[in-house]
Amino acid sequence: MNEILKTEYFLSPGYMIFPREPMVIYMVLGSCVAVILYDREVKKSACCHYILPRMPEDTSPMPIYGTVAVLGLIRLFLEDGTLIENLEAQVIGGSDLPGRSVGRENVEIAMKILAKKDVHITSSDVGGEKGRKVIYNSESNHLAVIKVEKIRAEDWYPDEGNT
């Protein structure tokens, strides 16, 4: 049995992480999408948490955009020596906001890029009207998704006040 992981990290919207040591990664998603990539051969992972699907014209590339974040994750693995056929993906988030389609568009961009790059999607929990609290163990590749009716301040920091 593995030791309990002591390193925890809250992945904010617009950021990516490619941990070199095992950790538990937390995220809170509404219309945002998280993509987790896992190299099943060498057992390492990375994830991104993006806000918008595409980068507007005349904008610097930043991982707040799905096109930048998802392609950036894949590039990190390939530059680190991963073979594309060893990658698998999990896609989470993309809730619908009243009168807006950004959640659906965020999901579509992830699915489209992953399919184009031949990255197999092993699981997805996307769409709907509820937000999600995500807990991901980068060592075991275990993912827990907790659906929430409303995203509250305490959802962003699940351990605050529990000491």
CB 82 within 8 A of CB 45: no
DSSP label at residue 56? P
Query: How far apart are the C-alpha atoms of 2 and 134, rounded to whole Å?
Result: 21
Contacting residues for 145 by C-beta, under 8 A, at least 6 apart? 92, 125, 132, 133, 134
Mean pLDDT on 64-75: 97
pLDDT at 162 over 80: no
E-strand ranges in the chain read: 8-10, 15-17, 24-29, 33-39, 44-50, 87-93, 120-126, 131-137, 142-148
d(CA 159, CA 60): 34
Q: What is the DSSP letter of 60?
A: -
The string of pLDDT tens digits covering residues 107-125 is 999 999 999 999 999 999 9
Q: Please, what is the angle between helix 66-79 and helix 102-116, to 10°?
A: 30
For residue 52, the cross-strand partners are: 65
Higher pLDDT residue, 12 or 155?
12
Contact 50, 66 (CB under 8 A): yes
Full-prediction pTM beyond 0.85?
yes
Mean per-residue pLDDT, 120-134: 95
pLDDT, tens digit, 9 for 90 and up, residues 13-22? 999 999 999 9
Q: Which among 150, 145, 132, 122 has a CA at the least distance from the CA of 94?
A: 132
In order of 41, 105, 116, 120, 157, the CA distances from 17 in angstroms are 19, 22, 22, 20, 18
Cα separations in angstroms, 89 against 49, 60, 148? 13, 26, 23
